[in-house]
């Protein structure tokens, strides 16, 4: 029996990205509830043994429980907090870019994870272009010339064909613009967002399926003249592509496409001349529905970025005078208020709130708190980590609880020695250990502040 071979296609990777994104959009029929809710969490205020070298998260049940126990907030990730991503490639002067071809795998990646073929760029105006031709051939530059003319279109002045022809001989086709809000949220030094939509005709004035927007002159030959030379683009098609030649001193230097045609699967360029020899011109057919119609697949999207921002005290729900040392993402956690569905509110305070009697000494963030009949921690019936203390309200917020805090009993700070009576304990609207933690990051202490914010970003690869 012969062995079978197969490969996961780029379309398959695109589908996985789509599924991940759609999971927080799609609703369960007849329920009004989404299939999946994702949350970002902040966790752990205790210092690491070595604050300059946080340990790598351990994939053990023990560590998983510790992460849950130290969480103090989860904030929901909405579709607007997610974006498909591809490699960021900035247009750089004098770089030689690759050009699109339909007869090679242009989306291969090297051991460094980066694309082998640099065939698209982001310009300084955050417009994304795909390279369809990288300039005239010569002995000095047999595989393309250094780029010197950055492609761009003024807003509202994108050409009908979407093609930008540079003074350096490059030909680029416009794909999309990274708009301001998405730029601020998702663009970073290594990654750039692609449009969320990936349906036919997404791009501005997107050209037809199976079309030929440019032809590529690999060799201009000799002894060609406008009076006796013709060009035709052949191949099964719906609409014939039409072109004309640019000839200088008997050499074909360029091809002007007047009608890009449609419905081509592949195409050949036929140059007819009784005198000319040596010309080599090729035409590469666009992806289905035209260049720019499906940035997901055209740019090899196999990653998605998930972001969340914690601003100030989030309406008095979380402290601003602490350092946190752990963050991550959790899917489908549940809470008593949402049962039998998963959590759905925008944000949840996961700390236990304890109302106390008056006292002269305040508790300290990070310190261990305990209750004990003999007032020793060795015989404690309840322990917790102090998240913070609000003296004006005589309110403690604690995490990492063990046991149950008893009312009418003192709670003692191990470092501060603060000693106050517990008046009431508010229930936490969160079901401990529910959902699935999908990402954990241990980091050096990050100081929160009343007027600051922290943005959390996660790249998920498929």
* SS3 track for 292-325: CCCHHHHCCCCEEEEEEEEECCCCCCCCCCCEEE
Q: Is the pLDDT of residue 222 over 60?
A: yes
User: Mean pLDDT throughout 40-67?
Assistant: 94
Give the whole-angstrom CA distance, residue 438 versus residue 442: 14
Q: What is the pTM of this model?
A: 0.84
Give the whole-angstrom CA distance, residue 379 versus residue 125: 65
Give the whole-angstrom CA distance, residue 383 versus residue 389: 16
154 occurs within a structural domain = no
Q: Are residues 454 and 357 in the same domain?
A: no
223 occurs within a structural domain = yes
For the chain, the farthest-separated pair of C-alpha atoms sits apart, in whole angstroms, at 108
110 occurs within a structural domain = no
pLDDT on residue 288 = 84
For the chain, what is the domain count?
3
Q: Is the pLDDT of residue 23 over 90?
A: no
Residues whose CB is less than 8 angstroms from the CB of residue 95 and which lie 6 or more positions away in sequence, other chains included: 118, 146, 147
Give the whole-angstrom CA distance, residue 41 versus residue 333: 11
Q: Are residues 224 and 371 in the same domain?
A: no
User: What is the per-residue burial (b if ≥16 Cβ within 10 Å, else e) of 56-69?
Assistant: ebeeeeeebebbbb
Q: Are residues 25 and 53 in the same domain?
A: yes
Q: Are residues 253 and 370 in the same domain?
A: no
Q: Are residues 402 and 436 in the same domain?
A: no
Are 198 and 14 in contact, with CB atoms under 8 Å apart?
A: yes
DSSP-assigned beta bridge partners for residue 460: 304
Q: Are residues 340 and 456 in the same domain?
A: yes
156 occurs within a structural domain = no
User: Mean pLDDT throughout 314-321?
Assistant: 92
Q: Are residues 335 and 447 in the same domain?
A: yes
Give the whole-angstrom CA distance, residue 49 versus residue 54: 8
User: Mean pLDDT throughout 184-191?
Assistant: 94
Q: Is the peptide bond before 108 cis (omega within 30 degrees of 0)?
A: no
Both structure tokens of 16: 């996985």
Q: What percent of the chain has pLDDT over 90?
A: 76
pLDDT on residue 264 = 93
127 occurs within a structural domain = no
User: Mean pLDDT throughout 309-334?
Assistant: 93
Q: Are residues 234 and 344 in the same domain?
A: no
37 occurs within a structural domain = yes
Q: Are residues 18 and 72 in the same domain?
A: yes
Domain residues for 232?
Answer: 217-258+272-279
Q: Is the pLDDT of residue 15 over 70?
A: no
Instruction: For 225-236, write each residue's pLDDT tens digit.
Output: 999 999 999 998
170 occurs within a structural domain = no
Question: With the CA atoms of 395, 401, 402 and 403 taken in that order, what torsion angle do they form, in degrees rounded to the nearest 10?
Answer: 40
Q: How confident is the model at residue 26 (pLDDT cuts 50, 70, 90)?
A: low
User: Mean pLDDT throughout 348-369?
Assistant: 96
53 occurs within a structural domain = yes
Q: Are residues 395 and 436 in the same domain?
A: no
pLDDT on residue 198 = 44
Instruction: For 432-449, write each residue's pLDDT tens digit.
Output: 999 999 999 999 999 998
Q: Are residues 317 and 448 in the same domain?
A: yes
Q: How confident is the model at residue 323 (pLDDT cuts 50, 70, 90)?
A: very high
The 3-state DSSP class for residue 67 equals: helix
Q: Are residues 366 and 406 in the same domain?
A: yes
Residues in the chain: 462
């Amino acid at each position: 029996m012969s062995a079978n071979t197969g490969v996961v296609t780029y379309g398959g990777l695109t589908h996985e990205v789509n599924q991940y994104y759609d999971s927080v959009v799609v609703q369960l029929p007849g329920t009004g509830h989404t299939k999946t809710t994702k949350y970002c969490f902040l966790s752990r205020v205790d210092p690491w043994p070595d604050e300059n070298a946080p340990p790598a998260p351990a994939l053990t049940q023990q560590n998983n429980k510790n992460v849950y126990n130290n969480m103090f907030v989860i904030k929901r990730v909405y579709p607007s907090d997610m974006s498909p991503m591809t490699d960021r490639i900035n247009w750089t002067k004098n770089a030689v870019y690759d050009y699109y071809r339909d007869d090679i795998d242009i989306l291969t990646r090297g051991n460094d994870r980066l694309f082998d073929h640099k065939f698209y760029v982001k310009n300084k105006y955050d417009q994304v272009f795909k390279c369809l031709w990288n300039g005239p051939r010569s002995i000095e530059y047999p595989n393309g010339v250094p780029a010197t003319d950055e492609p761009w279109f003024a807003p509202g002045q994108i050409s009908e064909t979407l093609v930008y022809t540079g003074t350096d001989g490059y030909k680029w086709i416009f794909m999309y613009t990274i708009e301001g809000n998405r730029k601020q949220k998702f663009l970073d030094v290594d990654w750039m967002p692609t449009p969320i939509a990936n349906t036919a005709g997404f791009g501005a004035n997107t050209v037809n399926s199976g079309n030929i927007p440019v032809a590529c002159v690999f060799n201009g030959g000799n002894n060609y003249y406008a009076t006796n030379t013709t060009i035709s683009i052949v191949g099964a098609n719906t609409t014939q592509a039409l072109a004309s030649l640019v000839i200088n001193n008997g050499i074909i230097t360029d091809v002007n496409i007047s009608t890009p045609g449609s419905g081509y699967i592949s195409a050949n360029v036929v140059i007819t001349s009784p005198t000319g020899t040596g010309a080599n011109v090729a035409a590469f057919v666009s992806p289905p529905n035209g260049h720019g119609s499906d940035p997901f697949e055209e740019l090899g999207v196999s990653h998605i970025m998930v972001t969340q921002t914690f601003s100030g005290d989030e309406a008095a729900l979380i402290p601003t005078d602490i350092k946190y040392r752990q963050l991550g993402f959790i899917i489908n956690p549940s809470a008593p208020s949402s049962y039998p569905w998963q959590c759905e509110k925008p944000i949840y305070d996961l700390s236990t709130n304890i109302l106390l009697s008056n006292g002269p000494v305040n508790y300290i963030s990070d310190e261990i708190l305990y209750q004990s009949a003999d007032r020793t921690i060795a015989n404690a019936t309840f322990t917790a980590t102090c998240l913070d203390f609000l003296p004006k309200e005589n309110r403690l917020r604690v995490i990492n609880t063990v046991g149950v805090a008893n009312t009418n009993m003192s709670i003692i700070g191990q470092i501060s020695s603060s000693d106050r009576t517990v008046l009431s304990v508010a229930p936490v609207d969160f079901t401990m250990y529910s959902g699935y933690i999908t990402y954990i990051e241990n980091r050096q202490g990050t100081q929160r502040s009343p007027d600051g914010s922290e943005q959390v970003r996660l790249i998920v690869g498929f």
